[in-house]
Each structure stands twice: as C-alpha cells, then as structure tokens.
Amino acid sequence: MAKTAWTKSDAFYNEYFRNPNPDKKSTHYCPGCGHGHVHKFLAEAFEDFGVVDQTIMISPVGCSVFAYYYFDTGNIQAAHGRAAAVATGIKRAHPHSIVVSYQGDGDLAAIGTAELIHSANRGENITVIFVNNAIYGMTGGQMAPTTLKGQKTTTSPRGRDPKNEGNPVKVCEMVNSLDAPVYLERVSLHDVKHRAKARMAIRKAIKNQVDGIGYSLVEVLSPCPSGWKMDPVDSMKWIEEEMTKVFPLEVFRDRSKEIEPSQEKKHIPTKDEIITNLGLKELHDEAFQKTQMASHYKNPAIKAAGFGGQGILLLGVGLAQAGMLEGYNVSWIPSYGPEMRGGTANCHVHISEKVVGSPIVSKPSVLLAMNRPSLEKFQKDVVKEGLIIYDSSLIDIKPDRDDVEILDIPATKIADELGNTRIANMVILGALVGYTNILNLKSLVATLPYIITRKRLIDVNKKAIEKGFEFGKNFQKKDLQN
C-alpha cells in the first residue's frame, strides 16, 4: 500500500526527555538548521530497514553532540574527532550492529582527519554522515577547514585567504583516493530535488551497512543560518550558488552493486563455546574453593614494587589470576618506566568480593617491596594495620612504621638456594598467601601454566611458591601493640 501519511519517525523519541529544556517536542537546533533534515532522513532509514534497535549512533563534538536527545537508538559520545575510531571499535565488538558516525566539518575534517582517513582506508563496515556547513557552528562561527575562499568568519574577518589559511578541504575527493571505501557521495539540502537525493544517499549508506558491504560516506552540504548570519531561505540559496561550486555534487564512487551482500548470520556463542574458545575448560573442571581469612585481610588492595626485571608485574598477574579462579573480582594494572630492565616497576592488584571501581591502588593494604627505593617510597602509603612484605636479602633497612604488620623474608636468598635468582618474586607471592591465607596454594599453582610461557620453568616457580608459602605460614606474627 502506498504511503499516505508523513509523520515523525518512530526512530525518534516520542518526547525528547533527555533534553533539559522544558520543551520536549522540538529540537535544540536553530531555525533552518540542516541537522534536522539529516536527522529525519536517518531516522526514516533506520525505521524502514528495521534496525532502530540495533543502531548505535556516535555523536561528535558540535551542535549534533545532542543527537542522543532525539534518536531512540544506542548512542555513544566520542571525544572530539574520534567518532570514526570509536565507531570502528563498536562495529568490531558488535559486528551486527548498525554503527553511524555522525560528524560535522570541525570534528571530521579538522581534529578527526586521521581517524577518518584510516577508518576509510581499512574499509570499516560503518556509515559516516559528514555534515559540511563550511563553518564552526557551535562555537560561534569560526573558520573551518571547509570554509570557502573569501568567506568571512569570526576568525577570517577579511575572508579566507588561501595564502594564509589554505584551501577548503574536499573530504569526498580525499577519501576517494583510497581503495577500500564502497560508497562516496556528496549531496546538498538546498532545494526539493537535492533534499530527495540526499535522502536517497543516506538510505543507501545505511542499506550498505545492513547488507554488510563496507564503508560508506555521505557528505551533506548543510546550512548554518546562524553561523552564516543569513536567514534560512537565503542560506539555502548560498549553498546552491557558492558551496556547490567548490564542492561539486556527485557520486564519487558506488561499488555497492559489485559486492555481494554478506550472508553471515548472527551467531551468539553459548557458554560452553566461550569456555572452549578461550581454553578455559581445564580450569573450570576443577573447583577452586575460597579460603577462610581474617577479616582485615579481606578485599586486599595490593601494591607490588621493585626493580624492572624482578618479575613484579608477573607476580601481580599471578595474584589476579588466582583470585579470578576462586571467583573474586580482580584487577591488575602495571605502572613502569620505559626501561626493559632496571628502572622501577610496580603494579596494582585488587582481589575483591565487591565490584572493583578504580584499579589504581593509592592506599595499599598490602605492600610487597622488592627493593629499597620501593620500600622507602611506598611504606608511608600503607593503611593502618596493613601489611608490608619486603625482601630482607636486598633491603638493608627496616620499615619505620609501627602500626602495620611486617613480614621480612630473604626472598632472593631463598630463590638462589633453589637455583634461580629470578624466582624471588614467586617466593614473595607464596609468602603473602601463606601468611594471610587470602588465596589457596592450589589455585596459585594452577595459574602458573597460564602466566609462564616457558614450560620448563614452571616446576622451579612452583617450588618457589611452595617455599615462600611455608615461610609465610610459619612466620611468627609480631605484636602490633608494641
């Protein structure tokens, strides 16, 4: 049946409840703004292709940053210019979503040029809508990369001079030099005929993505009556008379007919598939029980620190991995200098029954210090009644805190006796677990094949953990009450 009514698209919210203004029915755009047209064309396309619920819009920086007020789709707001990069990430993580990077000339052609070119060059299966109004509209009418020669803006008050400010950037022509894009067209909003063309171009760009064909970019020459200081009808004339001379309207490329639509069906992996694909089967077959521990050791925030090369980061990974096996929420984050060996390295580990907020540990409840500078630097940060474990064979001072538990272990000496100096980190790890009982020895040992790549070293690391565990378990607690 032929269409008999033209009303607001269902891809728009019924009421724009996100808009803080009391008026929930109209957009925040100025009268005559081209964003409204492009929004309408997009919404209609989403609705007609039945993809409203799987669409993710990327809003840029510019007036259209508030596109999420209006579209009843998913939305992510990207940092200035990064919409194409964010779109890439989303499309790869959710290949079956429809990702639309909606950008203006300041966002796409100035700060985001690199992201635009590289996403186009990779041929990401996304749709880029480039709204070109030859000016920075939101910030008050400054010169944009696409500003025409001689056009007056607040930052080119005598008119853009190519000798000083360069020539207008032609985005479609630039992207057309790349091999990967599938569909490139420049359209305009200036009259009835061209609006119809623009509508069809936007539909096509969305359809290409629905079919899984590849990268589509539609450049829309759009009016900015406020920025250009014209009335809306005159600004449409200005597009026709001035802009289209510099930015010719044409289909620069359309390979959508040459490419077969992707037949790939959406596949949601089952839990078993995920476990098999990630190689977790073996681990999940074993049950790793949580340990009973003293309440003040619960949810430890651990900072491990030492020289680069001592295996500090690996120690942290082992802790986090073992915590994960036992079903805790864990985080691990490294922090080190540019040196591969030498320099200082530290890492932050949370093993928590609750959700971990920030992975950073600025007030550790457990400090593992493997060299003197680390002990000196971080001991003051340890919380009251916390725990400091340090390698007494390398550190010739004692901590000067009397309100924390202190465990000194000659880790490097023990490692030496086991035949490998470099496993001192595992001795410390074993000692921490043996002393506090925060994790099972069994789960700690079970992580070794996953964190140590050289299989022949697993045995000696296991011995080191067990040795440290024994040491920690038998360590006599000193009374905190002085």
Partner 1 sequence: MNQKIVENHLTIIQPEICKGCGLCISACPQNVLKFHDKFNSKGYHYAYYVGEGCTGCNVCFYACPEPEAVIVYKKGHVLQENEEVTI
Min CB(63)–partner 1 separation in Å: 12
Q: Which CB atom, from 11 or from 319, has the smaller least distance to partner 1?
A: 11
Listed in sequence order, the residues at least 6 apart from 145 whose beta carbon sits closer than 8 Å to its beta carbon are 105, 106, 109, 110, 166, 168, 169
Min CB(206)–partner 1 separation in Å: 17
Kindly identify the residues of this chain, within the stretch 229-268, that bind partner 1 according to CB under 8 A. 231-233, 236
State the Cα–Cα distance between residues 24 and 219, nearest whole angstrom: 29
Min CB(27)–partner 1 separation in Å: 6
- In the stretch 11-40, what mask flags binding to partner 1 with x, by CB under 8 A? -x----------x-xxx-xxxxxxxxx-xx
State the Cα–Cα distance between residues 376 and 383, nearest whole angstrom: 15
Work out whether strand 344-352 and strand 301-307 pair parallel, antiparallel, or are unpaired: antiparallel
Q: Which CB atom, from 22 or from 338, has the smaller least distance to partner 1?
A: 22
Min CB(28)–partner 1 separation in Å: 11
Min CB(140)–partner 1 separation in Å: 20
**Position 154 contacts partner 1 (CB under 8 A):** no
Q: Which CB atom, from 5 or from 294, has the smaller least distance to partner 1?
A: 5
Q: Which CB atom, from 175 or from 236, has the smaller least distance to partner 1?
A: 236
**Position 8 contacts partner 1 (CB under 8 A):** yes
Min CB(32)–partner 1 separation in Å: 4
In one letter, which amino acid is 63?
Answer: C
Total residues at the site for partner 1 (CB under 8 A)? Answer: 36
- CA-wise closest residue to 81 among 56, 58, 110: 110
Q: Which CB atom, from 33 or from 134, has the smaller least distance to partner 1?
A: 33
**Position 64 contacts partner 1 (CB under 8 A):** no
Q: Is 111 exposed, middle or buried (0-12, 13-18, 19+ CB in 10 A)?
A: middle
Min CB(20)–partner 1 separation in Å: 16
Q: Which CB atom, from 3 or from 455, has the smaller least distance to partner 1?
A: 3
Q: Which CB atom, from 202 or from 347, has the smaller least distance to partner 1?
A: 202
**Binds partner 1 by CB under 8 A, chosen from 74, 137, 145, 225:** 225
- CA-wise closest residue to 91 among 175, 219, 214, 258: 214
Q: How many CB atoms lie within 10 A of CB 138?
A: 18
Q: 3-class DSSP state for residue 133? A: coil
Q: Is 430 exposed, middle or buried (0-12, 13-18, 19+ CB in 10 A)?
A: buried
Kindly identify the residues of this chain, within the stretch 188-217, that bind partner 1 according to CB under 8 A. 191-192, 195-196, 199
Residue 307 bridge partners (DSSP): 344
State the Cα–Cα distance between residues 95 and 264, nearest whole angstrom: 10
Listed in sequence order, the residues at least 6 apart from 418 whose beta carbon sits closer than 8 Å to its beta carbon are 460, 463, 464, 467
Q: Is the dihedral of CA 353, 359, 364, 366 positive or negative?
A: positive
Q: Which CB atom, from 31 or from 157, has the smaller least distance to partner 1?
A: 31
State the Cα–Cα distance between residues 142 and 154, nearest whole angstrom: 5
| Residue ranges in contact with partner 1 by CB under 8 A | 2-9, 12, 23, 25-27, 29-37, 39-40, 43, 70, 191-192, 195-196, 199, 225, 231-233, 236
